[in-house]
Amino acid sequence: MMSSYNTKMQAVADKESLVWRWLKQAAESADILNKTINIHEFFSNYDLYLSALAYLAECEKVLNFGGELPSKALVRAVEERGKQTRYFISRFAMDTKGKVSKLPTKKAKMKRIESFYKTLSGYSDRIDNDNSAFIIEQYEAMQRDIK
């Protein structure tokens, strides 16, 4: 029969193993968030990033963390969601502008710009008002820039 001490030690060891997996997941998600131009990938990884941080924040009760505590990182990630979304939109807009510049016809360019707007509009429930206005600004600027 296992003693209470051994059971607690096994529980801590199990939690530490999971912590490493969640730390890795949080790091991978953060990396994707900073690089992707795919809106589905951005929002699904943001959700995964927040979930990983929430799990890690719960682990603070039984484990010690060096550096920034997961609970503080979680609060920061929630507070900075709008800013991170704006960075994503900017990357996506820059990519779209690059692709538009290579298209041969005005019609093809307009179609690509419309695709930019429609893609982002499909996630309007996940985008705050400031970023919705930013999307419109980017969309209108791209339309004006077509030659």
* CB contact set of 126 (below 8 Å; sequence gap of 6+): 43, 85
Do the beta carbons of residue 100 and residue 112 sit within 8 Å? yes
Range of the domain at 72: 4-79
The answer on 75 and 8 residing in a single domain is yes
The answer on 109 and 75 residing in a single domain is no
The answer on 103 and 71 residing in a single domain is no
d(CA 88, CA 86): 5
Task: State which of 33, 54, 79 marks the end of a domain.
Answer: 79
The answer on 70 and 9 residing in a single domain is yes
The answer on 128 and 95 residing in a single domain is yes
User: Mean pLDDT over all residues of the chain?
Assistant: 91
What tens digit of pLDDT does each residue of 4-58 get? 655 655 666 666 778 889 999 999 999 999 999 999 999 999 999 999 999 999 9
Look-up of token digits 């019609």: 107
d(CA 77, CA 75): 6
Task: State which of 29, 56, 79 marks the end of a domain.
Answer: 79
pLDDT class of 62 with cuts at 50, 70, 90: confident
Do the beta carbons of residue 72 and residue 54 sit within 8 Å? no
User: pTM of the entire structure?
Assistant: 0.86
As a whole number of Å, the end-to-end CA separation of the chain is 79
Please state which of the ranges 5-14, 64-73, 74-83 shows the lowest mean pLDDT. 5-14
The answer on 87 and 75 residing in a single domain is no
The answer on 88 and 126 residing in a single domain is yes
Do the beta carbons of residue 78 and residue 70 sit within 8 Å? no
Do the beta carbons of residue 55 and residue 22 sit within 8 Å? yes
The answer on 74 and 39 residing in a single domain is yes
Do the beta carbons of residue 77 and residue 50 sit within 8 Å? yes
Count up the domains in the chain and report the number: 2
The answer on 112 and 67 residing in a single domain is no
